[in-house]
Amino acid sequence: MMISEELRRRILDDRALGAGNVLHRLPLYGRADDERVLWLDGTWRAPSGDHPEVLTLGELREVVATYAGHYRRRGVRAKDAVAVVTTSITDFALHLMALTGIGAIASLVNANMPEETRREYIRRQRVVGIVTREPWYQDLRAHLEDDEPPAFVAVQDEIVPGDREYLPEGYPFRHAPNDPVLISHSSGTTGIPKSAFHTHETLFHGALSRLSDGLDCSTRARLLALPGHHVSAMSNTLLGLVLGAPVIHYTDPSGKAVLDGIERFRPTIVFGFTHTFMEMAGEDLDDRDLSCVEGFYASGDAAHVVHIKRLLEKGRHPVTGRDLKPRTEPGAIFLDIFGSTEMGYVLFDYVHRPGAPSMGRCIGRPMRFAEAAVLAEDGSVLPPGRVGRLGVRSRSLTPGFWNDNVRWHRQWLGGYFLTGDLVYRDGGNNFYHLDRTTDAIRTAEGMVYSAYTEELLLGEHPRIRDCTVVGVAEEGVRFGWEDEGVAETYMLLNLMEGAAAPEDRTEWVNAALTRHGLPPVRGAVVVGEDEIPVGITGKVLKRVLRERARALAAAE
């Protein structure tokens, strides 16, 4: 089902609508307080002390007003930033809507960030307060000893129904387009995460642009298994509320848990990061009922085709036949939607369909509201077929990094924002993702693009569940895209459950690589799933794996 044309026009004609006031504009579109809008996974505790399974629009507005009153009671004012430290996607969404309701800014911090990294990241924010829950409260109280300490470190359970009495006059706050509403951090796989902030306009610009084009208008139930601190989780929550699509918050992003969530909540659309779908594809799906799913939407990095194909065998998708009558056919679609924290909204999408050929590592064309280019090191635009840096432009882009202008300006080249990815494009302006600039490996045999190499190997050997290529060099030698040193590469293999490992792993891997003209690896080893460390968003921590590869090299 799709949003009605009348409602679509009413939303698009609402010039005041933006990320900071979605909840407060819904009554203007004829939405009733008894409408059920948000389904919960049990990770959120209401101010009343219970754990509701679903919230109506009226209940959601009341809870948000209670949270907003609590912040005002603690002295938070418009343009103040408050760190929200948790893992629950519902926690993040409610605090975001409450803080924006009084004109403040929600700095969303994934509590699973390593403690020392988290401490430094929050310190740099210069927040006026921190709100969290156990078990992180005692650790976060250490911020009260900072050189510029926050005014408070609070536990979420301290919010009570009576806090609503402290709402200010003029609630909710009236936002201008450039008013900041949210600070979200990157994955932090290479150090202290970047703190991209978004405004009333930027966080919702992409969603409204797609709505204007008649796209992303589905009112079907959507399960969000996205990292709650990420802009994709928040923008999709807000978009679902605007469309009247049932939103299901699901905090556990592991493959098995999300499969359980699909069978419990019966969503039509499932959102997640690529690591979630990789884990889902590695599970035994024969006894899983995924018939409700019409689309898997993978946000973040480009997904591997071998994982996508396993999920395309499940679910169903709607089509219009040659007789112009709608019907459903077996197999869900898989929408690879490429974006990042800084983009505010995904800027590329590529649809994988059951039975259709897949273009490996293709992320599609830029969306209409965005521009993209492949850039040389001097900022010039490269022609089709040449590998270079991905640069983008869009009104949905972050206006900067909070309290970090130097880092922000260094990420621009030739008038484009650098996403940190290496790509090329074909003559049809389709873009292909090869690697992150930090993960590419310069070797004596040529440049190794790790994501591209892993994609190829997964396609060659079905018994491989996942794999990771890492570079090893002498201490102090830098061998990335921007460097001149060289390294040797090692492949870490995680096999499907019950799959036998070949006797000579290295020869087995290199036979596949050399068939396709790619540089061979120095060594290969089979590792368990828990031996491939991932960060807070599921990205592989290759800097950690390099140390394990060093041990492998030393044992040769």
Q: What domains are defined for the chain?
A: 17-34+51-202 (3.40.50.12780), 252-435 (3.40.50.12780), 438-555 (3.30.300.30)
Q: Average pLDDT, stretch 480-498?
A: 89
Does residue 261 register a pLDDT over 80?
yes
Given this model, what pLDDT does residue 188 score? 66
d(CA 439, CA 420): 10
Given this model, what pLDDT does residue 124 score? 95
Convert the pLDDT of each residue in 269-312 to its tens digit: 999 998 899 899 989 999 999 999 999 999 866 677 888 889 99
- For tokens 């310069």, the residue is 442
Q: What is the mean pLDDT of the chain?
A: 92
Q: Residue-wise over 135-154: b if at least 16 C-beta within 10 A, else e?
A: ebbeebeebeeeeeebebbb
Q: Kind of pairing, strands 180-185 and 195-199?
A: antiparallel
Q: Which of 4-13, 120-129, 338-347, 505-514 has the lowest mean pLDDT?
A: 338-347
Nearest to 241, CA basis, from 66, 68, 55: 55
Given this model, what pLDDT does residue 538 score? 59
Does residue 29 register a pLDDT over 90?
yes
Q: Give backbone dihedrals phi and psi of 47, rounded to 5 degrees, phi first.
A: -55, -25
Partner residues linked to 320 by β-bridges? 326
CB of 493 within 8 A of CB of 532?
A: no
Q: Average pLDDT, stretch 141-162?
A: 96
Q: Which of 321-335, 357-371, 374-388, 493-507 has the highest mean pLDDT?
A: 374-388
- Cα within 13 Å of Cα(116), Cβ side: 1
Q: How confident is the model at residue 534 (pLDDT cuts 50, 70, 90)?
A: low
Nearest to 303, CA basis, from 466, 153, 413: 466
Given this model, what pLDDT does residue 533 score? 64
Q: Average pLDDT, stretch 163-173?
A: 95
